[in-house]
Structure 1
Amino acid sequence: AQQPASAQAGEGDVVPFPKPRFDVNLEEDVRIPMRDGVGLFADIYRPLGAGDRLPTILIRTQYDKAPYRERGSKTHDGVACQFASQGFTVVVQDIRGRFRSEGVFHPAASDADDGYDTVAWIAAQPWSNGKVGGYGCSALGINQVMMAPQRPPALAAVLPQASGGAMRNRPFGTIFSGVPEFGWSFKWFREKGNQRSQIPPAIEYHDFLQTLPLADMNERSDSFPNDWRDWVTHELGDPWWRQFAFFDENSRPDVPGLFIESWHDNAVNEGIELFNAFKNQSMTERSRRNQYLIISPTQHCESECAQTPYIAGERDVGDVCQDYWSIYLRWFDHWLRRNGQGELNMPHVQYYLMGANRWKSADSWPLPGTSFTPYYFSSGGHANTSNGDGKLSTAMASGPADLYRYDPADPTPSPEAIRTRGDGSAADQREVDLRPDRLVYTTEPLRSGVEVTGPLRAVVYVSSSAVDTDFVVTLSDVYPDGRVYNLQKGVARARYREAYTAQPRYREDYSRPSLLTPGEIYRIEVNMAATGNWFGPGHRIRVQVASSSFPHFARNLNTGGNNATETATVVAQNTIYHDRDHPSHIILPVV
């Protein structure tokens, strides 16, 4: 793979935006009518002296357009003035029902249609050259992806960041494999997803997240009206979800896309899958050939503003700097000014290899030449804790089964340093690895380094004393000095085991859940997202298995009922098998 040139930034700094070329005029609170008569308000930034009809960069936000008026900021809030100072008109809009805009806010409910109408309005203005590009991270990236299959004629390019929550079965990143990503999503609905655009009275989240039931947490915490109850009580197989225009197998975009993802973001794998889906499902060859992907090692929406050295949770991953702003300006200039004429001269895939701490590139994803290699679990029947006898190797699985007790009243905790952010921040796992409800399988120290970059998946053979339970599988890097950093994890809810065999994620069918027969052995696949990590010589590869990672994932109460409305719990005796007939393993993408 090619080695992209890294950007230059001093220690503790970020790569700055290019020097302004134009002064910027701001017109505040322009009302843009939607097809149903609701008005969405926008601020319009215009470069002075750049011309009469200019390309437009559109930012649609639910987090308030007002902070974008801050000039000179190095954060996301500063991009409106910065882009405008390079000769683009920039429109920053409050989405429906948030801040200045009219209507009632419901996450994802109107993003596709409102995005289409806004692009059409921009294209009809006398200051527009008829070309619009989308920009923004998280919810701002999701609404670009949801709008794209509507194919607004003036939409010439999108630049969605952390947009995996646009995928059906991964709505707003709040649900993973049918299990609520609880720790951050409740906080998000309460503080950032309510209908008053205000922060409600403060609560102590650490204690409050322990309470049940999930469904009425909004009311019990004196929050403002929001859609938490609906989103947490409707399981993914419920037809209720079909009201949202999430990206799925029927979506047909027709627009070049530059997808920005990060290894420590909670929906990185779905963002990567969207990159491939835009390649495979676009209407025209022009769109199919012009999809690009950059994967940084940062946490959620931090790629452009990451300081060097970058600390991902607790792990130092080195000099991660990339000249994103020059890349973005070149992207928008290519599609909004030059109509795609000429060459971009950019690899289709750029990714940061953690551990080796350097940027690499490739032509496609998964990376060409990837060997999907099974690493099998083995033990003498006592893999509980890091002091147990669990082994991980490419040799066939062997040994008696491993048992552990999962009590929803005392769940295995999430070891991440930040448990309510919505990312997979790296944190030392040693303390959690000493819990008896966590099985630990580890390789011998590696004689030579191994690059593991690509999608991750585990196959576990299990039984349980309960009719339903979860299985959480984590991949970690064990350093020679004993530190243990999590790379990725996945969760599987036993009742949804039949759904997990489908790829990509939006093809998973959750409409036919099936409870377990206690004591019977089942094969369950666990989607573990994706990573890019170099396991250096002397490092060890570790896989941990438990039945919770709380509060990252909501607890399975093990009753077989509705985990959102119930309060009763059942203790489960869970078993992981690893013999020749039941070879539990993780599949690593070895490059």
Structure 2
Amino acid sequence: MSTLFALVIGRQSACRPRAYGDSRADPREGQTLETRTEFVPVSCGANLAALVALPGPGAYPVIIVRTVYGRRNLPGIAELFGGHGYATVIQDVRGSGDSSGEFRLLAQEPEDAVQTAQWILSQPWCDGRLAILGISYLSAASIAIAAEFPEQVKAAVWVTAPVRKELLCFQDGVLRLHHTLPWTYMRKAPLSGFDPEALYRKTPLVEAIPESRDSSWASMLEEGPRSRFWDGSDLWRYVERTRVPGLHFGGWFDFLLDATLVPYAEMLRSGAPQRLIIGPWTHNGTIGGPEKISGDVSYGYWDRQGEDDAREDSVDMSSPFMDECVEWLNYWVRGVGETPAAPSVRCFVTGHRPHWAQFEAWPHPSSRAVRMYLGAERSGNIEDFAAAGSAMPGCTRESFTYDPENPCSTEGGAVWAFPKAGLTPGPSVSSVHLRQDVLAYDSEALDSPMDICGTPEVELYASSDAPDTDFVAMLLDVDEHGVARYVSDGIVRARYRNSLDREDFLAPGEIYLFRIGMKGCAHTFGPGHWVRLIVTSSSFPKFDRNPNTGESVYRSREMRKALQTVYYGRAYPSAVVLPRLG
């Protein structure tokens, strides 16, 4: 060693948030909703079950929610928004709940969504104004409505919008195993029968779900991200055409954070107002559910303060999801209340002195790329460290052996916390540096706090004796006691290092530049702390294991060890690139 899509909104969500503007005087507040089930006819003879909830007689703006998790699980949505003068349509997507037809991941949604919107607009209880509430897969299920009805859709709320394979099932060509497998499994069988230890390690992985039970698992893994299954399932074109005011929510410990940040950036280009809120939340916790994270988002800061200092629980880490939704929709749909808060980005900063920050754009407008070179002479001054490239030796190498039969275990971070099938998200303590198949690179202790806000990246010069393999990078915050906690991570699959559309295999021993994109973060490394970069080849079961054979990853019955070599110095300037503020 070197020096879900899961959605939980129940009746408890129907609690009234603070009111905005004249919405406090809404005469419908407290009235009993009129609810009924309607069946919306769509293509191929399918009928989609929908809960229609009306605040009373008359016509109203309509909030559309299209769900794969069962409309009966979301009564709180109708109760909440009905009290603010909205009709709500909560629909089971094709092949789910009480809707007929066969479920086809993503591909089915645009046509069904458009036909549903047309049906709603033809109803006497719709006043011609629409809004979208999208949460995880629910966003993908409704994105076409925002694109196809720009005049009628007045606003939208997006809590991740996983509209294509690389924002849903794959990350830089690697399967998000800990989510994709249990999520697919529970489509056809109770999750109570899911055995994580056995199914995550199933070889070949394509047999984890028998085709006789659900053929979609084998189809989506046929050629990984290049499988024909994904043809027609890319809904990104609808994101590009969306031009409505959008409120975006995400969490630092949400494994689908990219599905918040990437669509937000694209919709911002449309010129329509967009607001982004990111907190210390998980995928499910973003909407304000009871889910908690493990670890300490203050990275020990409060523990070192005196008794008179504020404690961590004085920093409000709760999600303002319901309040922000009501304010956003009231203003843009009904034209009531105050102008939504500016600036447009509000995010929680983890680490030293955790706090909420606001700024004009994401990434932070004043962030700049600072390179910390592997093998550079260490310094407590980050500027000196970044400039030390000129003082580095010409070329140094370090090697480790990656054995897919004994992968590095995932340690918290941005992972799915779904019961039984998931992991424990959050900045839990990391001990991965103690393994023999890991390279760890540390700075010296920092003289003063260092703020980063954006998306870190690792530029890694490396070789392997295998035709295909993975490289994993982890960014950790190490305190003065040597306790290391998660800040960000990323992975790259060698065969997809240039493109997800083709496979470029490795020549044994040849040196390649691997760019490892990491999760977005806003974090302060405290004085006396140091920055640690971990380089290894697995994070299991967050990601699937690369068998290193060069064969089809998901059909390979064999696994082999791979000798990995990392290079650094003037000839091969491997570095971690941090989005530093200041």
TM over 0.5: yes
1:214 aligned residue (205, 208, 211): 205
Deviations 1:485-516 (A, max 9, x none): 112211111111223xxxxxxxxxx2221111
Q: Does 1:512 align with 2:520?
A: no
Q: Does 1:462 align with 2:453?
A: no
CA contact (8 A) 2:297 2:427 kept: no
1:203 aligned residue (163, 186, 194): 194
Q: TM-score, normalised by structure 2?
A: 0.85
Query: For residue 580 of structure 2, what is the amino acid of its counterpart?
Result: V
Deviation at 1:460, TM superposition (A): 0.1
Give the whole-Å Cα distance in 1 for the aligned partners of 2:181 and 2:116. Answer: 30
Which residue matches 2:65?
Answer: 59
The structure-2 alpha-carbon separation of the partners of 1:141 and 1:423, relative to structure 1 and needing over 3 Å to count, comes to farther
Give the whole-Å Cα distance in 1 for the aligned partners of 2:148 and 2:233. Answer: 13
Which residue matches 2:548?
Answer: 558
Query: For residue 434 of structure 1, what is the amino acid of its counterpart?
Result: L
Task: Return 483-492 or 141-150, whichever deviates more.
Answer: 141-150
Deviation at 1:267, TM superposition (A): 2.1
Which residue matches 1:5?
Answer: none
Deviation at 1:530, TM superposition (A): 0.7
The structure-2 alpha-carbon separation of the partners of 1:474 and 1:367, relative to structure 1 and needing over 3 Å to count, comes to same
Give the whole-Å Cα distance in 2 for the aligned partners of 1:409 and 1:322. Answer: 40
Give the whole-Å Cα distance in 1 for the aligned partners of 2:239 and 2:331. Answer: 29
Give the whole-Å Cα distance in 2 for the aligned partners of 1:529 and 1:248. Answer: 23
Equivalenced residues, count: 532
Query: For residue 313 of structure 1, what is the amino acid of its counterpart?
Result: S
Aligned CA RMSD, in angstroms, stands at 2.8
Deviation at 1:156, TM superposition (A): 2.0
Which residue matches 1:313?
Answer: 294
Deviation at 1:481, TM superposition (A): 2.8
Deviations 1:134-177 (A, max 9, x none): 113111123233543334652222101022x21x3415x21110
Which residue matches 2:171?
Answer: 176
Query: For residue 41 of structure 1, what is the amino acid of its counterpart?
Result: A
Q: Secondary structure at the match of 2:282?
A: coil
Which residue matches 2:7?
Answer: none
Structure 1: any 5+ residue segments left out of the alignment? Answer: 1-12, 70-77, 283-287, 381-390, 500-509
1:303 aligned residue (273, 278, 286): 286
Give the whole-Å Cα distance in 2 for the aligned partners of 1:423 and 1:151. Answer: 39
CA contact (8 A) 2:150 2:242 kept: no
Give the whole-Å Cα distance in 1 for the aligned partners of 2:233 and 2:33. Answer: 36
Q: Secondary structure at the match of 1:401?
A: strand
CA contact (8 A) 1:22 1:86 kept: no
Which residue matches 1:486?
Answer: 486
The structure-2 alpha-carbon separation of the partners of 1:251 and 1:357, relative to structure 1 and needing over 3 Å to count, comes to same
Q: Secondary structure at the match of 1:98?
A: coil
Q: Does 1:37 align with 2:28?
A: no
Which residue matches 1:323?
Answer: 320
Give the whole-Å Cα distance in 2 for the aligned partners of 1:534 and 1:554. Answer: 31
Which residue matches 2:9?
Answer: none
Q: Secondary structure at the match of 2:140?
A: helix
CA contact (8 A) 2:411 2:430 kept: no
The structure-2 alpha-carbon separation of the partners of 1:253 and 1:88, relative to structure 1 and needing over 3 Å to count, comes to same
Deviations 1:340-395 (A, max 9, x none): 99833432111111123211111112211111111111189xxxxxxxxxx98652
Matched ranges for 1:238-317 at <5 A: 238=227, 240-248=229-237, 251-280=240-269, 282=270, 288-305=271-288, 312-316=293-297
Query: For residue 160 of structure 2, what is the amino acid of its counterpart?
Result: A
Deviations 1:280-332 (A, max 9, x none): 2x3xxxxx13122111110003124267xx95322245421353322211211
Which residue matches 2:449?
Answer: 449
More helix by percentage: 2
The structure-2 alpha-carbon separation of the partners of 1:419 and 1:333, relative to structure 1 and needing over 3 Å to count, comes to closer
1:358 aligned residue (355, 359, 364): 355
CA contact (8 A) 1:15 1:322 kept: no
Deviation at 1:470, TM superposition (A): 0.4
Query: For residue 444 of structure 1, what is the amino acid of its counterpart?
Result: E
Give the whole-Å Cα distance in 2 for the aligned partners of 1:216 and 1:273. Answer: 32
Q: Percent identity?
A: 27
The structure-2 alpha-carbon separation of the partners of 1:362 and 1:304, relative to structure 1 and needing over 3 Å to count, comes to same
Matched ranges for 1:75-114 at <5 A: 78-114=76-112
Query: For residue 119 of structure 1, what is the amino acid of its counterpart?
Result: A
Query: For residue 561 of structure 1, what is the amino acid of its counterpart?
Result: E
1:25 aligned residue (33, 40, 51): 33
Give the whole-Å Cα distance in 2 for the aligned partners of 1:584 and 1:156. Answer: 47
The structure-2 alpha-carbon separation of the partners of 1:497 and 1:408, relative to structure 1 and needing over 3 Å to count, comes to same
Deviation at 1:18, TM superposition (A): 4.2
Q: Does 1:188 align with 2:183?
A: yes
Query: For residue 96 of structure 1, what is the amino acid of its counterpart?
Result: R
The structure-2 alpha-carbon separation of the partners of 1:367 and 1:68, relative to structure 1 and needing over 3 Å to count, comes to same
The structure-2 alpha-carbon separation of the partners of 1:369 and 1:14, relative to structure 1 and needing over 3 Å to count, comes to farther
Which residue matches 2:368?
Answer: 371
Deviation at 1:179, TM superposition (A): 0.7
